[in-house]
Amino acid sequence: MPQEQFIEEDYFIYCLEGVEEIETDKVTEAQQNLEQLAMKFGIASIYKTCDTIEGLEDSLNALVLDDHNFKDYEIIYLVMAGEANSICLNGYYYNLQEIAELFEGRLKGKILHFSNAKILDLDEDEAQYFLDVTNAKAISGYGNAYNGISSANLDKVFFHLFKEDDDMFEVVEELHQRHYNVCKLLDFRLYY
C-alpha cells in the first residue's frame, strides 16, 4: 500500500501580529505558542508582523496572491490591539469594514480568528458585511479584553481541534464542552 495514504494533510495557520516596530527581533507570546503547536500537534504556521495598515495589506496580499499553499490555510490568526470593530496599528484605528474592502472576495473559506489582544464585538450587520465582502467562512474572537488573561491557550486548543475536525460548529461545541469556564470568562464568539 502506498505510504502517502497515512500522511495527514498539512494544516496551516497564518498569523499576523501587530507590533510597534517590525525591525525588532523580540520573540512574542504568539510566536512561542505557534512553535508549541508545531512541536506538540504538528500544526504548521507562518508568522509575520506588521506595524502599519500597508504592512497588513502587503502580508495578506503576499499570502493570497503569491502563496500557492493558500488553499491549505484554514485560519488567519490576527494578534492585534483594537476595539470592538477595529484594529489598531501604530496608533491608527481601522474598522473591519475598511479591512473587508481591502480584501474584497479574497478570503474565501477562511476563518479570521482574533486573539484577545482586542475584543471582538460586532453587531449582526457588521459581521454579515465583513463575511459577504471578503467571502470569509467566519470571524471568531473574544468579547472580553485581555485583563491579565491571555487567550493564547484557548487559541491553541481551538486550532488543535480544527486540525482534528474541520466542522466549525463541532469544533466550537467541543471547545465549550472541554473549556466551558475559560470560554465564558473570555467570552468566545463566532460570527458566520
Q: What is the pLDDT of residues 58-112, one digit of tens each?
A: 888 887 776 666 667 889 999 999 999 999 999 999 999 999 998 899 898 899 9
pTM of the model: 0.88
Burial class (CB in 10 A: 0-12, 13-18, 19+), 45: buried
Query: Which range of residues forms the domain containing residue 80?
Result: 8-191
Assigned domain for 71 exists: yes
Cα–Cα nearest to 97, from 62, 134, 64: 134
In CATH, what number is assigned to the domain containing residue 109?
Answer: 3.40.50.1460
Here the cell at position 134 is: 471578503
Assigned domain for 51 exists: yes
Distance, CA of 78 to CA of 37 (rounded, Å): 16
DSSP 8-state code for residue 105: T
Is residue 108 within 8 A of residue 64, CB to CB? The reply is no
Assigned domain for 1 exists: no
Assigned domain for 70 exists: yes
Mean pLDDT of 133-162: 92
Helix (H) or strand (E) holding 57: helix 53-61
Q: Total domain count for the chain?
A: 1
